[in-house]
Amino acid sequence: MKRKIYLNMQPLAEANSCFTQQFSQYSANNETIASHGASGRVTAKPVTARLSSPSFHGAAMDGIAVRAADSFGASDESPVTLDITSGQAVFINTGHPLPDGYDAVIMIEHVLLANDETTGIIRAPVYPWQNVRKVGEDIVATELLFPSNHLITPPDVAALLTAGCPEVEVWKRPRITIIPTGSELVDLRKCSVIAPGKTIESNSAVLAALARNAGADVSVTPIIKDDYATIKKHLKQAVASDADVVVINAGSSAGSADYTVQIIGELGQVLVHGVTIMPGKPTILGKIDNKPVIGSPGYPVSAIISFEQFVVPLLKKMQELEQPLPITARAVLGRDIPSRGGIEEFRRMISGRIGDHLVTVPLKKGAGAITTLTRANSILRIPASSEGETRGSDVQLELLRPRKQIENTILCTGSHDLCLDIIHDYLKKSSPYPMASTHVGSLGGILAVRDEMTHIAGSHLLDPESGDYNTSYVRHYLEDKDIALITLVHRQQGFMVQPGNPLRIKSIKDLARDDITFINRQAGSGTRVLLDHELRKAGLEADAVSGYNLEEYTHMAVAVSVLAGKTDAGLGILAAARALSLDFVPVTEERYDLIIPRDFLDLPSIQQVLSIISSDEFKKTVEAMGGYSTRETGNQIL
């Protein structure tokens, strides 16, 4: 099949308008359900009360029922005695029916009873219907209980039952069928080993969860291989079923094996192929037999954004559920974010409060970077008319977490270390202060402290002249700031190599061999500084190392590159090598410190961090990973 181009790419607003207009009257019909289980559903018709509540005049409190007129004139000076034996007053409990002929209740606390309870003295009158719940005081039979399109809440269920409505007519939950496609996909539940070239299918699970959160009933088909006839057959079956909406995942792009757009066009109509958003550009919006059919992109982040923008609003509209407006906040941008003009970009962000304002930094981008969705607490939408945002600019965020949680977030920027993940876990278990780490290298962390864009920076920058770590850089770049430099760990750095070290890499000099490829860390990282120092000591130029300009941003990313066979060696920490069962060739032990402005040391969140790293439990957990020493953990260098 020939490679296709996007047929009629449209901006997000226009694509949404086109799709919405096509299905503006589309609904999931209605059904009658038991009121006991109606919470979360939406009324399809007005609901009127069958019964009044209360259905009788009842006592609002414990006391005696009386005729109000018999109490008139009672006072401290002229108390009135009521004869209980004659029926002038009657004992009554809260909620019990008021006996005929009585029109008020006197609280038992306001009655002085005789020892034999035959009389009661009162010192204040009551007015007619005082302390009485009258018939229909809450609900009157035949009155409107709820209008059409009302979202039923848990208290509403009590109102329905109290009003004598055992059943209620609601909009049906829309039925959605999701069809995962891809010959490379495997179901994790059906295999224990993932063969090379195969990918675990996860999109259908996350899309199904989004659909259920939108109130839909979901059906997911087995994985369908990338075959034109097979996909067409299953799509026809899904449309012919009782599904109200059909989503076919993957195959929506313009590749030579992407059949979705052609099949939708043959069976029905393609409304939109391509939306100017990133991620999510390959989205297909179509209809077959007057049913909405959506071609969802294959990359996870693209699939989720596409689903959130088009499918979730449709599912909610079919039930007359309101789509909530996003909660927004202003923040100062901590890093430049370039963007392609003509494309609206959705960037996942990490935000936290520093001083009296929010600071926000971007997570790595990429349609397949699913962790950006799990780690982000906010979103920055960059309009199609913009070519990006500059560091220090005031931007508007959409918040993905409660505002208080975001304000409590500890921002940690700088060098990557596995100990930061342990701190984050301890914080989540013992405090309201989550920690969010972004990995920009040690120097990047120091500059973030300088620019007041982070609470903490992790650093392991070697000073080749003194052999010390971090202090000279802090004094140079942060000379105008009052800084605390606190040791977190000492750790082993060395070459991570394939199990068994088949290429017999023993020292830095081996990197110059023609048969070895290397993976480096980014400029400004402590590991990069260490490598350059070791190369100079060995008399080697950077050009002699094959792969010197290939960069990764974390120790684990370097380890994965070696494990996957993309490269032969990478400089990193022993704990990362052990995590992936790689061999390790030691190079040096280094000190990894936390850089914290002294103004932050008294913050409850930073106090929690310092308490954690000083604990024996934390130190034992760290040392158990291997390659770490906590002999100076918590010591203040500056």
Q: Of 359, 302, 299, whose CA–CA distance to 329 is shortest?
A: 359
* Residue 637 resides in a domain: no
| Helix-helix angle 260-267:228-240, to 10 degrees | 50
pLDDT score of 498: 95
Torsion, CA 313, CA 316, CA 321, CA 324, rounded to 10? -30
Taking the C-alpha atoms of residue 600 and residue 573, their distance in angstroms, rounded to an integer, is 29
Asked whether residue 497 falls in the same domain as residue 580, the answer is yes
Alpha-helical (H) ranges within 308-452 are 312-318, 371-375, 403-408, 418-430, 442-450
Q: Which amino acid is at 448?
A: A
pLDDT over 90 percentage in the chain: 81
Last residue of a domain, one of 151, 171, 191: 171
For 211, 214, 517, 602, the CA distances from 208, given in Å and listed in that order, are 5, 10, 42, 45
- Give yes or no for a contact between 579 and 457, defined as CB atoms under 8 angstroms apart: no
Name the domain boundary from 283, 318, 353.
318
Tens of pLDDT along 44-71?
999 999 999 898 999 999 999 999 999 9
DSSP state letter for 544: G
CATH value at residue 88: 2.170.190.11
Indicate if 473 and 589 belong to the same structural domain: yes
Find the CATH number of the domain harbouring 146: 3.90.105.10
**Does 331 fall in a domain?**
no
pLDDT at 256: 43
Cβ neighbours of residue 15 closer than 8 Å, sequence gap 6 or more: 272, 275, 283, 285, 310
Domain holding 553: CATH number? 3.40.190.290
CB 258 within 8 A of CB 252: yes
Centre a 10 Å sphere on the Cβ of residue 509 and count the other Cβ atoms it contains: 14
For residue 250, what are its two tokens?
A: 């993957």
Query: What per-residue confidence (pLDDT) applies to 1?
Result: 42
Say if residue 205 is in the same domain as residue 152. no
Tell me: do 351 and 274 sit in the same domain. Answer: no
Domain check: are 185 and 159 in the same one?
no
Across the range 312-338, mean pLDDT stands at: 93
Beta bridge partners of 244: none
Q: Please spell the DSSP secondary structure of 21-84, one letter per residue.
A: HHTTT----EEEEEGGG-TT-BBSS-EE-SS-BSSS-EESSSEEEE-GGGGTT--SSS-EEEET
**CA torsion sign, 422 to 423 to 426 to 432?**
negative
Per-residue burial over 127-154, b if 16 or more Cβ lie within 10 Å, else e, is eebbbbbeeeeebeeeeebbeeebbbee
Assign 499 a pLDDT band (cuts: 50, 70, 90). very high
- List beta partners, residue 438: 413
pLDDT higher than threshold 80 for residue 407 = yes
218 inside domain: yes
pLDDT at 3 over 50: no
Q: Does residue 283 lie in a domain region? A: yes
CA distance 363 to 576: 21
Euclidean distance between CA atoms 492 and 494, whole angstroms: 7
Q: Count Cβ atoms below 10 Å from residue 270 Cβ, excluding itself.
A: 20
Question: What integer pLDDT is reported at residue 370 of this predicted model?
Answer: 78
Give the whole-angstrom CA distance, residue 68 versus residue 194.
83
Q: Is the pLDDT of residue 613 over 80?
A: yes
SS3 content of the chain, % helix, strand, coil (to 5): 30, 30, 40
8 Å CB contact between 348 and 355? no
Residue 575: name the closest of 616, 531, 614, 623 by CA.
623
493 contacts 464 by C-beta, under 8 angstroms: no
Q: Does one domain contain both 300 and 252?
A: yes
pTM, to two decimals: 0.83
pLDDT at 226: 86
The whole-number pLDDT of residue 7 equals: 57
Q: Answer whether residue 422 is part of any domain.
A: no
Q: Reply yes or no on whether the pLDDT at 254 is more than 70.
A: no
Whether residues 466 and 509 share a domain: the answer is: yes
Confidence of residue 84 (pLDDT cuts 50, 70, 90): very high
- Which pair of tokens denotes residue 628? 């770490």
Tokens 């949680």 sit at which residue?
405
Distance CA 341, CA 289 (A): 37
Split at pLDDT 50, 70, 90, the class of 253 is: low
| Chain centre distance of CA 538 | 48
- Give pLDDT, residue 193: 82
Determine the Cα–Cα distance for residues 131 and 95; give it in Å rounded to an integer.
11
Q: Tell how strand 328-333 and strand 394-399 pair up.
A: antiparallel
The total number of structural domains that make up the chain = 5
* 4 pLDDT above the threshold of 80: no
Is position 300 within any domain?
yes
358 and 294 assigned to the same domain: no
Looking at the structure, tell me whether residues 481 and 612 fall in a common domain. yes
Q: How much is the mean pLDDT over the chain?
A: 92
Do residues 460 and 571 both lie within one domain?
Answer: yes
For position 2, what pLDDT does the model report? 45
End residue of a domain, out of 121, 147, 171: 171
* 15 membership: H or E segment, kind and range: helix 12-22
| Mean pLDDT, residues 302-308 | 94
Query: Is 424 contained in some domain?
Result: no
| 197-228 core/surface letters (b: 16 or more CB in 10 A; e: else) | eeeebebbeebbebbeebbbbbbbbebbebee
Query: What token pair was written down for 551?
Result: 């960069």
* Any domain includes 159: yes
Domain span at residue 581 reads: 443-629
Cα atoms in the Cβ-side hemisphere of radius 13 Å centred on 538 = 18
Is residue 398 domain-shared with residue 271, that is, in the same domain?
Answer: no
Percentage, residues of the chain above pLDDT 70: 97
Residue in 142, 151, 154 with CA at minimum distance from that of residue 170: 151
Which two tokens mark 369? Answer: 């970077």
pLDDT digit string, tens, across residues 352-372: 999 999 999 998 876 557 777
Which of 5-19, 80-94, 165-179, 419-433 shows the lowest per-residue confidence on average (mean pLDDT)?
5-19
Strand 119-122 versus strand 58-59 pairing type: unpaired
- Examine the domain organization and report whether 115 and 144 are in the same domain: no
User: What is the distance between the alpha carbons of residues 475 and 450, in angstroms, rounded to a whole number?
Assistant: 11
CB 533 within 8 A of CB 462: yes
Q: How many CB atoms lie within 10 A of CB 564?
A: 10
